[in-house]
Amino acid sequence: MPQPRFYCVPLTIVVAIVVAIAATLASTPVLAQNAASFAIALPAQPLGSALNELARQASFQLIVHPDLVAGKHAPAVSGALSAPQALERLLAGSGLQAAQEGRVVVVKPVPKAETVTLAGISVTASAERETPIGPVVGYVAKRSAAGSKTDTAIIDTPQSISVVTNDELRNRQAETLSQALNYTPGFTSQPTSFNRTADRFRIRGMDVESATSGSMRDGMRLQNNSYDGTQEPFGLERVEVLRGAASVLYGQLSPGGVINAVSKRPGSAPVREVQLQTGSHGRKQVAVDVGGKVPGSDTLDYRLTMLDRKSNTSQDYLNDDKLYLAPALTWRPNADTSLTILSFYQKTTTRFSAPLPYQLVEGVGTGAVRIRRGAFIGEPAYDKMNGDMHAIGYEFEHRFSDKVKVSHKLRYFEANVAWNYLQVQTTAAALRNASERGLLARQYSDRREQVRGIVSDTNATSNWQLWGMEHAVLAGVDAYQTTYDSRNFRGNAPTLNLLAYNYGQQVTVNRARSVDRGSRIAILQKGIYLQDQVSLGETWTMLLGARHDWASQEQTLRRNGSRLDKDDSATTWRAGLVYKTASGFAPYVSYSESFFPVAVAAANGQSFKPTGGKQYEAGVRYQPPDSNMLLSAAVYELTQTDVLKYDAGNDVYRQAGQVRSKGLELEAKAELSRGASLIASYAYTDARTTRSTIASEIGQRSEDTPFHQAALWLDYSFARLGLPQLTTGAGVRYKGSTQPSGMSRSMPAYTVIDAMLSYRLSRNWQLTANVSNLGNKQYTYCEFAICTYGDQRHATATLSYQW
């Protein structure tokens, strides 16, 4: 595929320090609140990091340009001090001063022959001008590009967006994307035993994963197949969830939405950290994150993120080993141009946790013999899931003027997976023999998969005025080309005695071409899009968007070389309106569409149009002035139409299916007071099949979609009590009952508790302990009549060294 010409959009990296207070305190100057002294313990460290930590402890906002603090160090500051006193000590001898500008404090150079004084500073928390790709202090992100492909305030975006910041990833020690998002409303996923092998989720009851284009990296599609590999949270600056139909922005998609992982990037502020981690099941992990200016250069910044893990798991014979390496480099020859090269390589070594028929699961099945929690049904000498995944690309941006800029992004990715596993034979006779006599009939799945792809996105943004309205117009073209090549063999394997677990049996695989279930699939998608964000004064914001896509599929079957082709095209639309009040309320309404082509294998020579999605949403956000909180509420109705269904009476497929989801979602992320942070969410989701050629499906609830779901996380620093080194956190997650298809009984609701304890040992060392499922709650995940045991209690201890 010829490479497009390179045009690009600037990557503005601004080190921003945001700490704020709740709405009840928002109108009170921070110095008025902090006039009294409180216990402060700041070790000697880089000046930028010290200012960051003081702002967090004292709950005020401080803005500093990264070049001002680059290479400067702050002395250790401790004792009973007020916020102005601590600021003065940190900046002493640095040539910098803190000055009041509007509602914030800005660090700037000391003018010549001027005496520095902090006595007249009045500090209040205020909305920070962050960037959608840069770091955020705390849990409250206020800007995102996921909902518009532009740097837009979340409060101005007329569609539901959740952002998990790096601080949240770090404090909860998320090991998978699923764990990163399990406090997000409307999101469900399988247990970690599955999610360490695939990023497959549901949002609003709809599948969102690599195979439906919903799993992205830096705003572009990353993978083609569910099992290409998983994204490593340690390498991410944030994870964004855009809920609902979004094809106007990203092309072919599930109507459920998009999960966009944003890579850690280079910046001029130094980053230096090493982590050592141990934990349950023999876990041993080392991680490194370093970056800053390239020595001797004023235009180059670098970032290097690494992780190496060796670990067993709660399931017999299942390891969780990973190597992750992500070098990145940014070149800024001038203020209007930047080029960032992003890359990563990861190698995973594990085994697949095969799902179990519900008849053989403890607490679900009723037979005399069941497969115990943690048992392995494969063969240790045969089962494996070894994957190599790498990607390299760039983001290039140039600003021609204050009104016009262009952006070009391109990435090449490749994944190779060698995947052998044994699974249960599910005939009625086989299941009866297993549950009554303990003789488990198995079959092998022997797979080799390779994916290669290239993705590109080029757009231009222009800002202009017409009839008293400000327009931010985005016009672009993107393309995605990938080849998925698989070899897949299945056959009978030796029986496993569940009363003795007699491992060591030989698995003989028939790899004859005539029984190869694999294929080679080539996919090409091209799209053009146009979007206009219109500001009508300071209160009204309107968003209009349209897109047209062309998609083609070519599948060649391995077993006989036969070829199936399919071409599709679709036009999608989007519109939204936001009204902002001076008090911080922002109600909105929106309409959006999605499309996703029917798989060429499913079409099998028949002509089917792409499945479509339509979403109506109304909501309100509340972001009090001069506060660090964001409250969101939304109601929606989301419908997927033209779903392919099999007509058994006529032995044909028909586009007669329809799935409808409607519900309510609430989310709160806030700094409640100095040292106290909150994450809370609730979702009511009614997702079910409303039309089908299969009568029994009509009214069936979507898999793994409870009516009610809630989560709450609260952490607190003990600085006010004289222990600024100590921080604790706890979370509660509730998931209501679900109704798997193929099962007469529903899966019961359950609640799990997570906990965190962190203590700064010295100026450079910090120790953090995390426990998920603290009470070791036993629960089971089931869908489509197959089940996976839920996560058991898991503990880690992380020792961090920063310098």
Going by C-alpha positions, the residue among 767, 769, 715 that lies closest to residue 183 is 715
Q: With 0.75 as the threshold, say if the pTM is over it.
A: yes
Average confidence (pLDDT) over 431-456 = 96
The pLDDT of residue 739 is 96
Going by C-alpha positions, the residue among 519, 512, 593 that lies closest to residue 554 is 519
Whether residue 780 contacts residue 363, with contact meaning beta carbons closer than 8 Å, is answered with yes
pLDDT surpassing 90 at residue 382? yes
* Contacts of the segment 25-28: beta carbons below 8 A, 24+ positions apart: 25/125, 25/673, 26/124, 26/125, 26/624, 26/625, 26/626, 26/627, 27/124, 27/626, 28/124
For 236, left (φ over 0), alpha (ψ -120 to 50), or beta? Answer: beta
Residue 716 sits in the same domain as residue 762: yes
β-strand partners of 220:
217
Beta pairing, strands 104-109 & 62-64: parallel
The pLDDT of residue 86 is 79
Last residue of a domain, one of 84, 109, 134: 109
β-strand partners of 421:
445
Q: From the CB of residue 344, how many other CB atoms can be counted at a distance below 10 Å?
A: 21
pLDDT tens figures, 588-633 = 999 999 999 988 877 666 778 999 999 999 999 999 988 899 999 9
Mean pLDDT over the full length of the chain: 88
User: 468: buried, middle or exposed (CB in 10 Å: 19+, 13-18, 0-12)?
Assistant: exposed
Here the CATH number for the domain that contains residue 75 is 3.55.50.30
Whether residue 747 contacts residue 735, with contact meaning beta carbons closer than 8 Å, is answered with no
**Which element (helix H / strand E) includes 579?**
strand 563-579
Going by C-alpha positions, the residue among 391, 389, 387, 384 that lies closest to residue 417 is 387
The pLDDT of residue 12 is 24
pLDDT surpassing 80 at residue 17? no
Q: From the CB of residue 227, how many other CB atoms can be counted at a distance below 10 Å?
A: 22
Give the pair of three-digit tokens for residue 571: 């036009």
Supply the range of the domain harboring residue 504: 271-802
Q: How far apart are CA 313 and CA 68, in angstroms?
A: 46
Beta pairing, strands 652-673 & 676-691: antiparallel
Share of the chain above pLDDT 90, in %: 74
Residue 251 sits in the same domain as residue 299: no
β-strand partners of 323:
308, 347
Whether residue 523 contacts residue 224, with contact meaning beta carbons closer than 8 Å, is answered with yes
Phi, psi (deg, nearest 5) at residue 142: -115, -5
Cα Rg, the chain, nearest whole Å:
27
Q: Is residue 120, in this structure, part of any structural domain at all?
A: no
Residue 365 sits in the same domain as residue 403: yes
Here the CATH number for the domain that contains residue 174 is 2.170.130.10
More confident residue, 116 or 286: 286
pLDDT surpassing 80 at residue 771? yes
Residue 228 sits in the same domain as residue 295: no
pLDDT tens figures, 691-746 = 999 888 999 999 999 999 999 999 999 887 888 899 999 999 999 999 999 999 99
Confidence tier at 188 by pLDDT (50, 70, 90): very high
The answer to whether the Cα torsion of 327, 331, 332, 338 is positive or negative is: negative
Whether residue 472 contacts residue 461, with contact meaning beta carbons closer than 8 Å, is answered with yes
The pLDDT of residue 555 is 93
The pLDDT of residue 106 is 76
pLDDT surpassing 60 at residue 156? yes
Residues 6+ apart with CB under 8 A from 7: 396, 398, 406, 407, 408, 458, 460
Share of the chain above pLDDT 70, in %: 90
Last residue of a domain, one of 230, 263, 296: 263
Residue 90 sits in the same domain as residue 213: no
Whether residue 157 contacts residue 574, with contact meaning beta carbons closer than 8 Å, is answered with no
Residue 637 sits in the same domain as residue 766: yes
Helices vs. strands in the chain: H and E counts, helices first: 10, 43
Q: 612-650 as b/e, with b when 16 or more CB fall inside 10 Å?
A: bbbbbbebebbbbebbbbbbbbbebebbbbbbbbbeeee
Q: How far apart are CA 209 and CA 525, in angstroms?
A: 17
Residue 325 sits in the same domain as residue 219: no
pLDDT surpassing 50 at residue 636? yes
Q: Is residue 125, in this structure, part of any structural domain at all?
A: no
Whether residue 152 contacts residue 588, with contact meaning beta carbons closer than 8 Å, is answered with no
Residues 6+ apart with CB under 8 A from 85: 37, 118
The pLDDT of residue 776 is 96
The pLDDT of residue 42 is 75
Q: How far apart are CA 492 and CA 552, in angstroms?
A: 36
In one-letter notation, the amino acid at residue 359 is: Q
Residues 6+ apart with CB under 8 A from 113: none
pLDDT surpassing 60 at residue 26? no
Phi, psi (deg, nearest 5) at residue 22: -70, 170
Q: Is residue 119, in this structure, part of any structural domain at all?
A: no
Going by C-alpha positions, the residue among 455, 412, 463, 411 that lies closest to residue 150 is 463
Residue 682 sits in the same domain as residue 749: yes
pLDDT surpassing 70 at residue 79? no
Report the Cα 312 to chain-centroid distance in Å.
25
Average confidence (pLDDT) over 497-519 = 96
Residue 248 sits in the same domain as residue 276: no
Q: Is residue 9, in this structure, part of any structural domain at all?
A: no
Q: How far apart are CA 332 and CA 268, in angstroms?
A: 11
pLDDT surpassing 90 at residue 451? yes
Q: Is residue 11, in this structure, part of any structural domain at all?
A: no
Residue 465 sits in the same domain as residue 325: yes
Residue 100 sits in the same domain as residue 162: no
Residue 394 sits in the same domain as residue 368: yes
Confidence tier at 476 by pLDDT (50, 70, 90): very high
**Which element (helix H / strand E) includes 66?**
helix 66-69
Residues 6+ apart with CB under 8 A from 170: none
Average confidence (pLDDT) over 639-650 = 85
Q: How far apart are CA 276 and CA 68, in angstroms?
A: 31
Q: From the CB of residue 773, how many other CB atoms can be counted at a distance below 10 Å?
A: 20
Q: Is residue 121, in this structure, part of any structural domain at all?
A: no
Here the CATH number for the domain that contains residue 384 is 2.40.170.20
Query: Into how many domains does the chain fold?
Result: 3
Which one-letter DSSP state was computed for residue 312?
Answer: B
Give a three-class secondary structure readout of 705-768: CCCEEEEEEEEEEEHHHCEEEEEEEEEEEEECCECCCCCCCCECCEEEEEEEEEEECCCCEEEE
Q: Return the percent helix, strand and coil in the chain, to nearest 5.
A: 10, 55, 35
Q: Is residue 136, in this structure, part of any structural domain at all?
A: no
Last residue of a domain, one of 67, 84, 109: 109
The pLDDT of residue 33 is 39
- The CA–CA distances, whole Å, from 548 to 5, 78, 213, 249, 477 equal 21, 60, 17, 10, 10
Q: Is residue 345, in this structure, part of any structural domain at all?
A: yes
Average confidence (pLDDT) over 400-425 = 96
